[in-house]
A and B are shown apart, each in its own frame.
Chain A
Amino acid sequence: MFGPLFPELLAAAQGGDEQAFAALWRDLQPAVLRYFRVAAGEAAEDLAADTWVSVIRSLGRFRGDERAFRSWVFTVARHRAIDWRRQAARRPTISVPVEQLAERPAPDDPVAAVFEAQSTRAALALLAELPTDQAEVVALRVLGGLEIAEVARIVGKRPGAVRVLAHRGLRRLASRLEAAGLVRGVTR
């Protein structure tokens, strides 16, 4: 977040200043990429790049503060994620049911990795195992740093519904991690 610097940076980027745009990009790209790692797995890098293409093309018309900018970028990102899911559903070879995704062998056991190394990728892999609507809301709230009202606007749900989805998602993760933790604690 840039705070008071943001308006000047945005204006410069809108005027074509490459470095100002790079600053905005570096600030938001990690969050956007992580959102896609949860929402679209292996397609994350490409979808993040596509998102920036859209953002760049409409940048000149954007008006608003830093929160609004963030919210807008994630609105664009979510559209990309939805398009991707739709296309994936039309291509049977690529479409993998969520249940199977969870069963796929990961390079490392995500639970163990989160416990041992605080690995970001492992944490995102666990978030991705949540049901889509819960994963989406948790990702926007936690990774996007957006507030409930902003997430509600982006996903087209009421704030109360967003809160419930986020809580459900977190409880599910908590139980999974605690269960794993108990097992690990008992195992000698």
Chain B
Amino acid sequence: MSDEDALGADMHRLLGSLEAGTSAGDQDTLERLLDGPLDPGSVPPGYGGLARLLAAATAPAAPDELAGQQRALAEFTAVMRSTPPTLSPRRTVVPRKVFTIKAAAAALVAVLSVGGIAAAATGHLPGQASPVAGQAAATTAADAAAQGLGKAAAANVGGTAQAGATDAQGRESAVGPDATGAARAGLCQAWQSGQGDDHGRRMDSVAFQALATAAGGAGNIAGYCKDVTAGDHGQGKASPPSVSAPPTSASRPGNGPPANPGPPAGTGPGGHGQGGPPTTSG
């Protein structure tokens, strides 16, 4: 704020007090009320009702205030499909080293539009589309890796594949990717990188249940995956799918408030795993 503005503010404050016949203490109270909710008991006499009103106005979101989510997401999906997303710096840095920018962009656009369509499908066809989404994304991950598109593209697809898995997790009818097929390598690598503290949580997801089924039981996954990472799919280390790339916090189940699948807020069963606790606006 410039000196002129500060002076202006002071003059306005002075004028304001003269006008309303209020003291500097009142000004402070009003500013504190504007900054955030105050306990009605802690404000000077005459401001209790106002404190209550402002607290009510900034109360945590009610479920009906989030009722427009499907509409907003449908719009988001439609716009993202018609206009390929801007290539953010994060996405362009690595491919630039490996390919020409043009080739990398083409690969990303192709890959992202598959993801976009998959996402659109999960948004509109609950109960049906998520296996397709998961499979499509995972298959693309494997294909992309197999064709030597490099780490960056594979990592991007990995993120999409995992988002698919997250969606799938929220559904009763969801079926994960076919873990015996093209998705095997990706699932195995995700499983291996997930061994540790949160290993158990990963195994909750439909995708990894599919892996367990394909391996003939959760206890056999290690053995089942050994073959894959030994290289019999010809992918080696050039295809780190979902987990080795830092996924977005939102597309990772249970990793924080934003995407934490909580009790559905008014969307009922068959929601999209986005029923986390309403975040307050303040």
Give the size category of A's interface with B: 35 or more
Tell me if A118 and B55 are in contact (CB < 8 A).
yes
A residues less than 8 Å from B282 (CB atoms):
1, 145
Binds B, one of A75-83, A86-94, A99-107, A161-169: A161-169
Given A160-B13, A163-B16; A173-B53 close (CB under 8 Å) = yes
Q: CB within 8 Å of B: which of A38-52?
A: 45, 48-49, 52
| B47 x A174 contact (CB < 8 A) | yes
> What residues of chain B lie closer than 8 Å to A56, measured between beta carbons?
72, 75-76, 79
User: Given A120-B57, A166-B30, A180-B49, do A19 and B259 touch, yes or no (CB 8 Å)?
Assistant: yes
Partner of B53, one of A19, A26, A29, A114: A114
| Given known contacts A9-B248, A164-B16, A171-B20, A22 and B79 CB-to-CB distance under 8 angstroms | no
Residue pairs across A and B with Cβ atoms less than 8 A apart, 28 shown, are A5-B249, A8-B248, A9-B249, A14-B88, A18-B77, A18-B163, A19-B250, A22-B69, A23-B259, A26-B69, A30-B65, A34-B57, A52-B68, A57-B83, A118-B55, A118-B59, A120-B57, A123-B57, A127-B57, A143-B58, A158-B5, A163-B31, A164-B15, A164-B16, A168-B20, A171-B22, A174-B46, A178-B49
B250, A163: Cβ atoms closer than 8 Å: no
Q: A interface vs B, CB < 8 Å?
A: 1-2, 5, 8-9, 11-12, 14-23, 25-31, 33-34, 45, 48-49, 52-53, 56-57, 60-61, 114-115, 118-120, 122-124, 126-127, 138, 141-145, 149, 158-161, 163-164, 166-168, 170-171, 173-174, 177-178, 180-181
